[in-house]
C-alpha cells in the first residue's frame, strides 16, 4: 500500500465535454487504486475543461452537468481521495454566476470545496468574466491526507509573492496567508497554465523560491493539451522544502505520476524541451539565437495542430506550397502533427512563379511524404482578370478619380485563386481544412492577402517571426519527427511572395524590398512586445542589425514610421485572422491581444 503517495493526474480535457473529462478522471482514479495510491490530484477546472471563455455564459447546462458528474465521481472515490477542479454555481445573492472551485473528496463524499480567490484577467486569461473571486479564508484551504495538513491553492494564487515579483498584481498573497495561519505540511497547486516563451524559468524560480521561503514542499499539477490558441505544456512538478526540484512529469503529454512530495525525496524528473531552462538574462536583448526556444516552439505548434484537429473532428489539412519558407514550415509541422498521409500540399504556380520554387515545393513534399499535386492557376487568373477589367472599366466611369495607378489587384488575384482552390478541396473532401500560412512578421506588416494566404481554418506559424521561422526550419531538419525535409534552397533564398515583379530588378519582388530587413523588423516587434518601447527610444538604441549594417538615422526613422503605419492598417486584417497557437512571450493572436480597429496607435 502506497499510503504516502500522491498521484498527479496530468491530463488533457476537452472544454465542455464533461463525460469525456469524467471518464479520463475515473481511468486515472482506477489506476491509482490498482496501485494502492490513496490520493489523486487533477488540474484546475478539470471536469469542465479550461479555458471555457464564454461557453458557460450561454450554456449553463454544461455547468449543471459538471456538478452531476462531480457527484458521480465522488462516489467512486472510496479508499482513494481526490482533489479535482470543477465549475460551481454561485448561489449567493451577489456577484458573478460561477466559482472556479476545487472539490476535496474523501470516502465517497465531497468533504470540502475550495474557491479560487485570485482570478487572472489579462493576456489570454478572462476568468473574472464569469467567475466570482471568493474571499480568501485560510482554514478553508486545508485538507487532511495521511496525517498531513495539506494546503490547497489554485493556479494564479501562487503568482503574487511580493518578494519575488517587483509589482504583484493583487492586494494580498494567498500562499503567505495560508502558510502563516495554517502551517501546512505541504502545498498543492492545481493549475491550468499555458506555455509561453521564457515562462518555464519564471515558474521554476517562483515555485522554488516559495518552497524555500516557507520551508514547505510544493506540488504543482498542470493540465496538458491545447484549446484553439492556447497550449498547456504539462511538466507538473514538486519542490522540496529547500526549494529543490524533486519531481517533474512529462512535457506536452498526459502523464500518470506517482510521487511522495513531502519527504523531499528525489523522484522521476522528466526532461523539459531543450533550452527552456536557460537563464532569463540571456533573453534580455534581441538576438537571432533562438536555440533555447525551438524545441518548445515545435512542440507547442504540433500539439496545437493535433488538438485543434482532433477536438474539432477534422482529419486532414490542405495547404498551398509555394516553395517558400512559411508554407514549407507549415507543411512540416502539419506532417509531424497529423501524419504525412493526412496532409495535402498543392503547388499552384502562376506566371511569376519560378521553376526553382516549383521544384522546391515538390522536393519538400517528397521529403515529408505528404500528398502533393501541382495545378496551374492561369485559367482562373485569366478569367478573373478579364471579368475584373470589364467591371473596372465600368466603375471607372463613376469612380475614375479613385482608381489606383499601381493597384495590387493582380498580385492578390493569384493569392485568392489559390485560397479558392484550397477551400474547394475542403468542400469536396470530408473533414479537411485549409491552412493559413502567414507568419508573425508578415502579419505585423499586414503583408498577407485577405481571402488569400491569410485565409484558412488554422494558422500554425502566426506567432513565429520570420527570423525565428528560419531557425525553426533548420532545427526541424535536424530534430523533428521527420528529418531533413526542407531543401537547403528554401533556407537560403530571400523571402518573397512571388506575386509581383520588382520593376527595378525585373525579378519577383522580395519581401524585404517591399518592407524592411526582417532582422530589423523582428527586433522592432520584439522591443514593442517585450519592452513596450517607443520609437523615440528605439531610435536611440543600437539594433542588432546595426552591428553588421550601416544604417542612417533617417533610414531607421523611416522604417519605424513605416512599421507604425503598416501596423495601424494591419488591425483591419488581424480582426479576421484565423486562430493559431500562442508561442511567444507576447503575441497578436486573437486570444491574447485585441486592439480597436478604429483607434490610433502611437509608439
Q: List residues with catalytic annotation.
A: 44, 116, 155
CB of 128 to a copy of itself, least distance (A): 5
Cell numbers at residue 206, please?
A: 517562483
Give the phi and the psi of residue 181 in degrees, each rounded to 5. Answer: -85, -30
Q: Which of residues 397-416 bind a copy of itself (CB under 8 A)?
A: 398-399, 402-404, 407-409, 412-413, 416
Q: Which of residues 289-328 bind a copy of itself (CB under 8 A)?
A: 307-308, 311-312, 315-316
| 256 versus 372: smaller Cβ distance to a copy of itself | 372
Of positions 114, 190, 471, 528, contacts a copy of itself by CB under 8 A: 528
Q: How is the beta sheet containing 98-106 ordered, strand by strand?
A: 109-115, 98-106, 81-89, 37-41, 2-10, 255-259
Does 128 participate in binding a copy of itself (rule CB under 8 A)?
Answer: yes
Q: Interacting stretch for a copy of itself, rule CB under 8 A, among 50-58, 147-155, 214-222, 266-274?
A: 50-58
- Which residues, 6 or more positions from 78, have their beta carbon under 8 angstroms from its beta carbon? 107, 108
Of positions 163, 356, 366, 451, contacts a copy of itself by CB under 8 A: 451
Cell numbers at residue 446, please?
A: 499586414
Of positions 33, 96, 111, 112, contacts a copy of itself by CB under 8 A: 96
Does 423 participate in binding a copy of itself (rule CB under 8 A)?
Answer: yes
| 330 versus 420: smaller Cβ distance to a copy of itself | 420
String of b and e for 528-552 (b: at least 16 CB within 10 Å)?
bbbeebebeebeeeebbbeeeeebe
Cα–Cα distance, 44 to 61 (Å, whole number): 20
* Degrees to nearest 5, angle at CA 170 with 168 and 172: 100
Does 89 participate in binding a copy of itself (rule CB under 8 A)?
Answer: no
Q: Which of residues 571-590 bind a copy of itself (CB under 8 A)?
A: 572, 575-579, 590
Pairing of strands 148-154, 142-145: antiparallel
CB of 270 to a copy of itself, least distance (A): 26
Does 227 participate in binding a copy of itself (rule CB under 8 A)?
Answer: yes
Q: Are 72 and 40 in contact (CB under 8 A)?
A: no
Q: Interacting stretch for a copy of itself, rule CB under 8 A, among 67-75, 91-99, 194-202, 462-470?
A: 91-99
CB of 308 to a copy of itself, least distance (A): 6
Phi-psi region of 251 (alpha: psi -120 to 50; beta: other; left: phi over 0): beta
Q: Are 460 and 333 in contact (CB under 8 A)?
A: yes
Does 367 participate in binding a copy of itself (rule CB under 8 A)?
Answer: no
Of positions 382, 488, 541, 561, contacts a copy of itself by CB under 8 A: 382
| 431 versus 505: smaller Cβ distance to a copy of itself | 431
Does 168 participate in binding a copy of itself (rule CB under 8 A)?
Answer: yes
| 274 versus 533: smaller Cβ distance to a copy of itself | 533
Give the phi and the psi of residue 80 in degrees, each rounded to 5. Answer: -125, 130
DSSP assignments along 469-522, one per residue: HHHHHHHHHHHSSS-S-S-HHHHHSPP---SSB-TTTSSBPPHHHHS--HHHHH
CB of 421 to a copy of itself, least distance (A): 7
CB of 379 to a copy of itself, least distance (A): 4
Side-chain half-sphere CA neighbours of 159 within 13 A: 16
| 58 versus 542: smaller Cβ distance to a copy of itself | 58
Phi-psi region of 96 (alpha: psi -120 to 50; beta: other; left: phi over 0): beta
Of positions 29, 190, 221, 421, contacts a copy of itself by CB under 8 A: 421
Does 540 participate in binding a copy of itself (rule CB under 8 A)?
Answer: no
Using only C-alpha atoms, the chain has a radius of gyration, in whole angstroms, of 26
Does 185 participate in binding a copy of itself (rule CB under 8 A)?
Answer: no
Q: Interacting stretch for a copy of itself, rule CB under 8 A, among 139-147, 198-206, 391-399, 467-475?
A: 391-399
Q: Interacting stretch for a copy of itself, rule CB under 8 A, among 249-257, 260-268, 486-494, 593-601?
A: 593-601
CB of 446 to a copy of itself, least distance (A): 13
3-state class (DSSP) for residue 112: strand
* Degrees to nearest 5, angle at CA 334 with 328 and 339: 125
Cell numbers at residue 100, please?
A: 472556479
Does 597 participate in binding a copy of itself (rule CB under 8 A)?
Answer: yes
Amino acid at each position: 500500500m502506497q499510503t504516502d503517495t500522491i498521484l498527479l493526474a496530468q491530463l488533457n480535457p476537452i472544454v465542455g465535454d464533461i463525460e469525456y473529462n469524467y471518464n479520463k478522471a475515473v481511468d486515472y482514479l482506477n489506476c491509482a487504486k490498482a496501485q494502492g495510491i490513496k490520493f489523486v490530484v487533477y488540474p484546475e477546472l478539470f471536469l469542465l475543461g479550461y479555458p471555457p471563455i464564454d461557453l458557460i455564459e450561454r450554456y449553463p447546462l454544461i455547468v449543471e452537468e459538471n456538478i452531476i458528474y462531480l457527484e458521480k465521481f465522488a462516489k467512486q472515490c472510496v479508499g482513494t481521495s481526490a482533489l479535482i477542479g470543477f465549475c460551481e454555481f454561485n448561489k449567493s445573492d451577489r456577484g458573478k454566476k460561477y466559482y472556479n472551485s476545487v472539490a476535496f473528496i474523501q470516502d465517497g463524499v465531497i468533504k470540502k470545496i475550495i474557491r479560487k480567490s485570485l482570478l487572472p484577467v489579462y493576456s489570454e486569461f478572462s476568468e473574472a468574466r464569469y467567475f466570482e473571486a471568493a474571499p480568501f479564508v485560510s482554514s478553508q484551504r486545508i485538507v487532511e491526507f495521511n496525517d498531513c495538513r495539506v494546503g490547497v491553492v489554485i493556479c494564479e494564487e501562487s503568482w503574487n509573492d511580493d518578494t519575488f515579483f517587483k509589482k504583484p498584481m493583487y492586494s494580498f498573497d494567498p500562499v503567505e496567508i495560508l502558510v502563516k495561519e495554517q502551517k501546512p505540511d505541504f502545498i498543492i497547486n492545481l493549475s491550468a497554465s499555458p506555455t509561453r516563451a521564457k515562462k518555464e524559468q519564471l515558474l521554476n524560480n517562483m515555485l522554488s523560491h516559495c518552497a524555500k521561503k516557507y520551508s514547505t514542499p510544493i506540488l504543482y499539477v498542470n493540465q496538458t493539451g491545447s484549446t484553439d490558441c492556447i497550449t498547456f505544456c504539462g511538466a507538473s512538478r514538486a519542490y522540496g522544502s529547500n526549494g529543490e526540484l524533486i519531481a517533474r512529469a512529462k512535457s506536452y503529454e498526459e502523464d500518470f505520476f506517482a510521487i511522495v512530495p513531502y519527504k523531499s525525496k528525489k523522484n522521476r524528473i522528466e526532461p523539459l524541451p531543450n533550452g527552456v531552462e536557460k537563464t532569463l538574462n540571456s533573453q534580455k536583448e534581441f538576438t537571432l539565437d533562438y536555440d533555447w526556444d525551438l524545441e518548445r516552439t515545435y512542440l507547442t505548434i504540433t500539439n496545437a495542430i493535433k488538438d485543434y484537429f482532433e477536438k474539432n473532428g477534422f482529419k486532414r489539412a490542405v495547404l498551398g506550397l509555394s516553395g517558400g519558407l512559411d508554407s514549407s514550415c507549415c507543411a512540416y509541422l502539419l506532417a509531424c502533427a497529423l501524419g504525412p498521409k493526412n496532409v495535402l500540399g498543392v503547388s499552384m504556380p502562376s506566371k511569376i512563379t519560378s521553376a526553382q520554387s516549383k521544384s522546391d515545393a515538390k522536393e519538400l513534399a517528397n521529403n515529408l511524404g505528404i500528398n502533393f499535386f501541382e495545378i496551374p492557376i492561369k485559367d482562373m487568373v485569366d478569367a478573373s482578370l478579364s471579368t475584373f477589367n470589364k467591371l473596372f472599366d465600368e466603375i471607372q466611369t463613376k469612380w475614375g478619380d479613385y482608381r489606383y495607378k499601381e493597384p495590387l489587384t493582380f498580385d492578390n488575384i493569384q493569392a485568392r485563386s489559390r485560397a479558392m482552390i484550397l477551400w474547394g478541396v475542403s468542400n469536396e473532401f470530408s473533414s479537411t481544412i485549409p491552412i493559413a500560412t502567414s507568419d508573425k512578421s508578415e502579419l505585423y506588416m499586414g503583408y498577407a492577402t485577405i481571402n488569400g494566404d491569410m485565409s484558412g481554418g488554422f494558422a500554425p506559424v502566426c506567432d513565429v517571426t520570420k527570423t525565428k521561422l528560419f531557425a525553426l526550419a533548420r532545427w526541424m531538419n535536424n530534430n523533428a519527427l521527420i528529418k531533413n525535409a526542407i531543401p537547403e534552397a528554401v533556407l537560403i533564398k530571400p523571402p518573397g511572395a512571388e506575386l509581383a515583379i520588382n520593376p527595378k530588378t525585373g525579378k519577383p519582388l522580395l519581401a524585404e524590398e517591399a518592407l524592411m530587413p526582417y532582422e530589423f523588423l523582428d527586433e522592432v516587434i520584439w522591443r514593442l512586445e517585450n519592452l513596450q518601447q517607443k520609437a523615440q527610444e528605439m531610435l536611440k538604441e543600437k539594433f542588432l542589425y546595426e552591428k553588421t549594417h550601416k544604417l542612417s538615422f533617417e533610414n531607421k526613422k523611416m522604417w519605424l514610421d513605416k512599421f507604425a503605419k503598416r501596423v495601424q492598417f494591419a488591425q483591419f486584417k488581424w480582426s479576421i485572422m484565423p486562430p493559431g497557437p500562442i508561442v511567444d512571450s507576447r503575441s497578436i493572436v486573437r486570444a491574447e491581444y485585441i486592439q480597436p480597429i478604429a483607434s490610433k496607435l502611437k509608439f
